[in-house]
């Protein structure tokens, strides 16, 4: 699927982003119901200052070498933000990075993550695989059948709709973030496998993926429901690991003295209880094996 998409990825991207812009947002008069959502091709061409024929050739893949000036004008017409604008230029100028996404977590990063005992912290890779997680993070996501890939968890685990207070928002943000990763690592086989699996098994993912929103997730406020803690409202930060391309250290925190901080205290107590229980069980299991 990903290989087919790259045959005319610039055209696919232009069509998807054109459909996402309302005429009124582009300063155009509302002329009533339209057969297709968003802007028409001739309207994008008008706003960008290029001929309609030229713009149609771009979308159809018959023109593959637009100038920087044309791309900048189209980005303005489509009201692209910085991340979406950068992706348009990568597609239009055929300039892609050669960096390979890292999949191994450095020991130093593991020590840093494990030292964060009062907040959930975990390391994710470019394909949104959970590469490592501290005890608090494992407790936070304990209700999921598998804590392995954030996209799979959201789209393929029924528990996700109980866990996320606003599942639609969580799903949209996750797909936009994966799009950003695929833009940075366009030939990453793991990303392609994740996209392929979700495209086969989740119509919801397929619909969001087709919207072509490129939005890296750097921070956001999270609202979740934990089966034992209850409502949890936390702030999320994704810190890029510069020594490991594609990896991010994801950390949750809460405003001191607020309900989120109280929820973290409860979560930490659960984590400590589970850890102590596991430590007590380990010698007994070893004794049984020796017997």
Grade residue 97 by pLDDT with cuts at 50, 70 and 90: low
What is the predicted pLDDT for the residue at 37?
A: 85
What is the predicted pLDDT for the residue at 233?
A: 95
pLDDT in tens, 119-153: 999 999 999 999 999 999 999 999 999 999 999 99
Helix and strand element counts for the chain (H, E): 14, 5
What is the predicted pLDDT for the residue at 276?
A: 80
Quote the DSSP letter at residue 8. Answer: G
Widest distance between CA atoms in the chain: 82
Cα–Cα distance, 204 to 201 (Å, whole number): 9
What is the predicted pLDDT for the residue at 2?
A: 45
Q: Which residue has the tokens 């009201």?
A: 79
Grade residue 6 by pLDDT with cuts at 50, 70 and 90: low
What is the predicted pLDDT for the residue at 3?
A: 43
Q: How far is CA 105 from each of CA 118, 136, 148, 191, 194, rounded to the nearest angstrom? A: 21, 18, 15, 18, 20
- Mean pLDDT score of the chain, rounded to an integer? 90
What is the predicted pLDDT for the residue at 288?
A: 60
What is the predicted pLDDT for the residue at 7?
A: 75
Grade residue 29 by pLDDT with cuts at 50, 70 and 90: confident
Q: β-strand 130-133 against 121-124: which pairing, if any?
A: antiparallel
Grade residue 31 by pLDDT with cuts at 50, 70 and 90: confident
Considering the domain 107-281 in this protein, what is its CATH number?
3.30.450.180
pLDDT in tens, 45-95: 999 999 999 999 999 999 888 999 999 999 999 999 999 999 999 899 876
pLDDT in tens, 251-263: 999 999 999 999 9
pLDDT in tens, 203-255: 999 999 999 999 999 999 999 999 999 999 999 999 999 999 999 999 999 99
Q: Tell me the domain boundaries of the chain.
A: 2-92, 107-281
Cα–Cα distance, 2 to 176 (Å, whole number): 16
Contacts 24+ apart (CB under 8 A), 23-30: 25/79, 26/77, 26/79
Grade residue 287 by pLDDT with cuts at 50, 70 and 90: low
Cα–Cα distance, 141 to 134 (Å, whole number): 11
Grade residue 116 by pLDDT with cuts at 50, 70 and 90: very high
Cα–Cα distance, 31 to 189 (Å, whole number): 45
Cα–Cα distance, 58 to 64 (Å, whole number): 7
Contact 238, 222 (CB under 8 A): no
pLDDT, greater one: 157 or 34: 157
What is the predicted pLDDT for the residue at 282?
A: 53
Contact 214, 176 (CB under 8 A): yes
Instruction: Classify 2-92 by CATH class.
Output: mainly alpha
What the block records as the tokens of 240 is: 């890029």
């Amino acid at each position: 699927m990903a290989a087919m998409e790259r045959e005319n990825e610039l055209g696919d991207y232009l069509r998807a982003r054109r459909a996402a812009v309302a005429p009124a947002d582009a300063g155009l008069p509302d002329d009533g119901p339209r057969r297709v959502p968003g802007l028409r091709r001739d309207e994008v061409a008008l706003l960008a200052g290029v001929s309609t024929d030229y713009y149609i050739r771009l979308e159809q893949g018959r023109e593959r070498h637009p100038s920087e000036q044309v791309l900048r004008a189209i980005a303005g017409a489509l009201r692209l933000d910085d991340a979406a604008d950068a992706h348009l230029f990568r597609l239009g100028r055929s300039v892609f990075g050669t960096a390979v996404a890292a999949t191994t977590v450095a020991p130093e990063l593991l020590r840093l993550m494990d030292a964060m005992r009062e907040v959930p912290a975990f390391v994710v890779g470019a394909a949104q695989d959970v590469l490592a997680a501290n005890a608090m993070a494992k407790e936070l996501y304990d209700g999921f059948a598998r804590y392995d890939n954030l996209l799979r968890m959201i789209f393929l685990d029924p528990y996700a709709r109980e866990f996320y207070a606003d599942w639609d928002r969580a799903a949209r943000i996750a797909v936009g973030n994966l799009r950003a990763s695929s833009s940075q690592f366009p030939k990453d086989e793991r990303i392609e496998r994740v996209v392929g699996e979700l495209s086969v098994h989740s119509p919801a993912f397929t619909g969001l993926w087709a919207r072509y929103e490129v939005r890296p997730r750097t921070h956001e406020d999270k609202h979740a429901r934990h089966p034992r803690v209850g409502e949890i409202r936390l702030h999320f930060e994704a810190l890029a690991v510069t020594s490991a391309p594609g990896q991010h250290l994801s950390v949750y925190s809460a405003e001191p003295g607020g309900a989120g901080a109280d929820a973290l205290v409860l979560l930490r107590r659960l984590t400590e209880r589970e850890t102590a229980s596991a430590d007590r069980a380990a010698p007994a299991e070893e004794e049984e094996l020796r017997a």
